[in-house]
């Protein structure tokens, strides 16, 4: 079985927790895109993990993790996570593999990320400043360094000096402290594998591919330019691995409301007291940057769009427990635009979604997840999207999840 668990919204749907829960039935959890911009908070009960690069496998089980070529790796962040786990008694070094073709995030990438954002002024994307965009750009500029390029120190040094020189000339960014790269590389060296070595192993294994961010942040199909630097959609699996892979099941995760970090349109966004209450109840603060997340109501035109572009097979809903006790819960059902009248689905021209009038349906709130009002909410989403909700996450713990169909 090859499945993908990915976000149907703007990220932070709770994929980390859900993937960790599902991981027990798989041999490998494979990260195929993104980098340390991702932030997964996973509550084990006796401890809590916040991780950025380590794939979301349950550290208490035998499931392994693979970081494929499509990921950009900040070596220090990854080493720190592995070290952190060791401190609490989980040595995952034997269970973690990283493709030798994965590109490295260098300090200059983070510096350029910051500088670009500042230079863009009001047009800034609101990135996590983890160097993601510049690292992918350098991959395409063909000046990036892959893990395999660090093997021979002299050759690597020459490449690093070349990158430094370019950054100095093009962007006035100075960096020449290369030692830290080699120090971090030494710690990770034993986990590095060639993608072809992994191919037969992966072909013969049960794999859950773990998406990062959400499809609305996909560089091609998301709310461009307010997106990340790579593929958050399921389409990222193959370029991320470097070879074709038939996927049996696409499991999309969505939150019972909606959040977004960073800039860009958000038709159902709430402000003031309502937003503050939701943010507080849902602990909606970025796991990577600590930024308060923008909060709003569930948006069905956007959800349907996410389902369509990812060929979603089934859905998992998270965080409906956060809405417990609310008097009314709203759901956006369609948009109205001055040009096109009523629009049920998200307009492909994403610039339109900045200026839409949103039509909502209102539900009576629920006092628990056994409440009939909650059942109505679930059934409504299923009928409006045409997709089944197979699990409902009922709280922060890995075990807080119920199968519904």
Residues acting as catalytic residues: 12, 40
Does position 39 bind ligand IMP by CB under 6 A? Answer: yes
Closest approach of Cβ 344 to ligand IMP, in Å?
Answer: 26
User: What are the b/e assignments for 161-189, b being 16+ CB within 10 Å?
Assistant: eebbeebeeeeebebeebeebeebbebbe
Cα separation of 36 and 352, whole Å? 31
For residue 301, the partner it binds in Mg ion, ligand IMP, none, with Cβ less than 5 to 8 A by kind, is none
Selected from 5, 6, 12, 107, the binder of Mg ion by CB under 5 A is 12
DSSP 34-47: --TT--EEEE-SS-
- 3-class secondary structure, 5: strand
Closest approach of Cβ 95 to Mg ion, in Å?
Answer: 22
Does position 164 bind ligand IMP by CB under 6 A? Answer: no
In the block, residue with structure tokens 């759901």: 331
User: What are the b/e assignments for 127-140, b being 16+ CB within 10 Å?
Assistant: bbbbbbbbbbebbe
By rule CB under 5 A, what count of residues binds Mg ion?
Answer: 3
Selected from 7, 39, 264, 306, the binder of Mg ion by CB under 5 A is 39
Long-range contacts (CB closer than 8 Å, 24 or more residues apart) made by 173-178? 173/108, 173/111, 173/112, 173/115, 175/106, 175/107, 175/108, 175/111, 177/107
Tokens linked to 206 = 């049960």
Does position 395 bind ligand IMP by CB under 6 A? Answer: no
Does position 33 bind ligand IMP by CB under 6 A? Answer: no
Residues 216-245 binding ligand IMP (CB under 6 A) are 217, 226, 228-229
Binding mask 272-311 for Mg ion (x = CB under 5 A): ---------------x------------------------
Does position 214 bind Mg ion by CB under 5 A? Answer: no
Does position 262 bind Mg ion by CB under 5 A? Answer: no
Tokens linked to 292 = 């308060």
Selected from 15, 97, 110, 130, the binder of ligand IMP by CB under 6 A is 130
Does position 134 bind ligand IMP by CB under 6 A? Answer: no
Tokens linked to 253 = 């995760």
Cα separation of 226 and 123, whole Å? 9
Tokens linked to 230 = 């790579």
Residues 254-273 binding ligand IMP (CB under 6 A) are 261-262
Does position 36 bind ligand IMP by CB under 6 A? Answer: no
Quote the DSSP letter at residue 172: -
Picking from 298, 308, 294, the residue whose alpha carbon sits closest to that of residue 333 is 298
- Contacting range for ligand IMP; rule: CB under 6 A; set: 59-67, 77-85, 129-137, 368-376: 129-137
Query: Could you list the residues that contact ligand IMP (CB under 6 A)?
Result: 10-12, 37-39, 125-128, 130, 132-133, 213, 217, 226, 228-229, 261-262
User: What is the binding site for Mg ion (CB under 5 A)?
Assistant: 12, 39, 287
């Amino acid at each position: 079985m090859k499945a993908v668990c990915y976000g149907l919204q703007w990220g932070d749907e709770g994929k980390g927790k859900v993937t960790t829960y599902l991981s027990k039935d798989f041999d490998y959890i494979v990260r195929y895109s993104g980098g340390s911009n991702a932030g997964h908070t996973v509550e084990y009960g006796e401890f809590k993990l916040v991780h950025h690069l380590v794939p979301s496998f349950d550290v208490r089980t035998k499931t392994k993790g693979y970081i494929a070529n499509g990921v950009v790796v900040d070596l220090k962040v990854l080493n720190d996570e592995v070290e952190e786990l060791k401190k609490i008694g989980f040595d995952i070094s034997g269970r973690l593999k990283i493709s030798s073709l994965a590109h490295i995030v260098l300090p200059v990438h983070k510096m350029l990320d910051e500088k670009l954002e500042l230079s863009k002024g009001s047009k800034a994307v609101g990135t996590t400043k983890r160097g993601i965009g510049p690292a992918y750009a350098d991959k395409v500029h063909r000046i990036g360094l892959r893990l395999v390029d660090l093997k021979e120190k002299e050759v690597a040094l020459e490449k690093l000096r070349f990158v430094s020189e370019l950054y100095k000339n093009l962007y006035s960014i100075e960096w020449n402290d290369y030692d830290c790269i080699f120090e971090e590389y030494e710690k990770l060296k034993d986990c590095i594998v060639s993608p072809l070595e992994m191919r037969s192993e992966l072909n013969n294994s049960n794999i859950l591919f773990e998406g990062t961010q959400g499809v609305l942040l996909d560089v091609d199909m998301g709310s461009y330019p307010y997106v990340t630097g790579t593929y958050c959609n399921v389409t990222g699996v193959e370029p991320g691995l470097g070879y074709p892979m038939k996927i049996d099941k696409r499991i999309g995760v969505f939150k019972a409301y909606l959040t977004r970090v960073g800039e860009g349109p958000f038709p159902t966004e709430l402000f003031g007291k309502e937003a503050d209450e939701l943010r507080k109840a849902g602990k909606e603060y970025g796991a990577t940057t600590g930024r308060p997340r923008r909060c709003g109501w569930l948006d069905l035109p956007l959800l349907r769009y996410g389902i369509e572009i990812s060929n979603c097979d089934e859905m998992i809903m998270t965080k409906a427990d956060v809405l417990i006790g609310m008097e009314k819960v709203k759901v956006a059902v369609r948009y109205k635009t001055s040009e096109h009248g009523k629009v049920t689905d998200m307009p492909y021209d994403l610039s339109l979604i900045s200026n839409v009038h949103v039509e909502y349906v209102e539900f009576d709130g629920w006092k628990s997840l056994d409440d009939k009002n909650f059942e109505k909410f679930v059934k409504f989403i299923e009928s409006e999207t045409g997709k089944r909700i197979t699990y409902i996450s009922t709280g922060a713990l890995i075990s807080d999840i119920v199968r519904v169909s």
